[in-house]
Amino acid sequence: MDRMDFLQAVARTRVFETRLLTWARIERMVDARDIEEVFRILGETEYANVMPGSLRGEDYEKILYAELKRVYKLMEELSAEKIVVDLMALKYDYHNLKTLVKSKALNKDLDELYIPLGTQDFQQIKTAYLAGDLKDVDPKFREALEAATNDFELKGDPQRIDLILDKYYFQHLYELAKETDIPLFVNYVQDLIDFSNIKTLIRLKKQNKDLRFVEEALLSHGKIKKEEIALLLTDSLDSIINKLRNYEIGPATKKGLEAYQRTGRLSDFEKEMDNYLMGLNKPSQYIHFGPEPIFSYLVAKETEIKVLRIIMVSKLNKLSPDAIRGRLRDLYV
């Protein structure tokens, strides 16, 4: 990957960064009376281009996905290497694969759950899968679909569809990151795997799952050995925090698990995970040659949209501004 190939893309990305939402505008939305006022404030930004003339409160997802779709298309056109964008888009492929397998397995129409994003034409994958002919599907997706389908036919447990496809997703993601040989991308993926494993451990611990189940659920390729995380199953939260303290993600894990201890909400742990991963990306603002600013802009945009979703859902549920502030993530700029 030639870093100079990204010179023009980085220059364009710098312009896009200036259009990211500022904290001042986010604060205005947090203090808004209702979701209609949030829409009015958002209409002052480039989101106006994806906002229809008449809006109902429940239309917020249409706006957010339309903006994400616009941004991914733009960055794909801009990036000298598609793989840089694929690192962020791949999760949508696997979300759609999960939905597809569940839809067929449970004989349910789940079309409204598909997300119109990803690295490949999902409609072609869907058509091939439902026709029982996967020979022209990308080998990684084909293998993942066959594994999840065969497991369901054998065990009949729809929850295992998520478990199996998550494993295939993170394996695929790790291989993409290693292929780029860009330290930021590899670190991002490995740290994401570690956070995901800790989150899985806490969730399964609460469900009183046994060690064998936990070992099967944990992901490979993190910086913390999955076997080490599995052995924390019977530890207290304080003990888990202590044993993970010397890893790079130790301070963020401590903060996230302490918040979870107070509230019982895994979303509070996820907030610290998101903030840590955002911190990894902030140095990309000072890189002038290379793929990192493209990737980090997508991370920034995804986080911005997550923040908007939190605000909009909170307004629909009539949460107070202070309650909303406690859930927001760090922004890129």
CA angle 105, 110, 116 (to 5 degrees): 120
Structure confidence at residue 191 as a pLDDT band (50, 70, 90) = very high
Structure confidence at residue 240 as a pLDDT band (50, 70, 90) = very high
**Nearest-CA neighbor of 87 among 15, 149, 1?**
1
What's the sign of the alpha-carbon dihedral 237, 239, 242, 243? negative
> Over the stretch 305-319, which tens digit does the pLDDT of each residue have?
999 999 999 999 999
pTM (2 d.p.): 0.95
Structure confidence at residue 52 as a pLDDT band (50, 70, 90) = confident
Contact 200, 133 (CB under 8 A): no
* pLDDT given for residue 59 in this prediction: 87
Cα–Cα separations (whole angstroms), residue 60 to 65, 80, 88, 291, 315 = 9, 32, 22, 31, 11
* pLDDT given for residue 1 in this prediction: 83
Task: Output the average pLDDT for the chain.
Answer: 96
311/175 Cα distance (integer angstroms): 35
Contact 231, 214 (CB under 8 A): no
* pLDDT given for residue 115 in this prediction: 95
62/51 Cα distance (integer angstroms): 9
272/256 Cα distance (integer angstroms): 5
Is residue 44 scored above 80 in pLDDT? yes
Q: What is the mean pLDDT of residues 67-79?
A: 97
Cα–Cα separations (whole angstroms), residue 32 to 28, 314, 321 = 6, 11, 8
Contact 272, 256 (CB under 8 A): yes
What single-letter DSSP state applies at residue 245?
T
* pLDDT top residue among 54 and 164: 164
Q: What is the mean pLDDT of residues 43-70?
A: 90
Tokens describing residue 234 = 């019977």
Q: What is the mean pLDDT of residues 159-176?
A: 98
SS3 of residue 78 by DSSP? helix
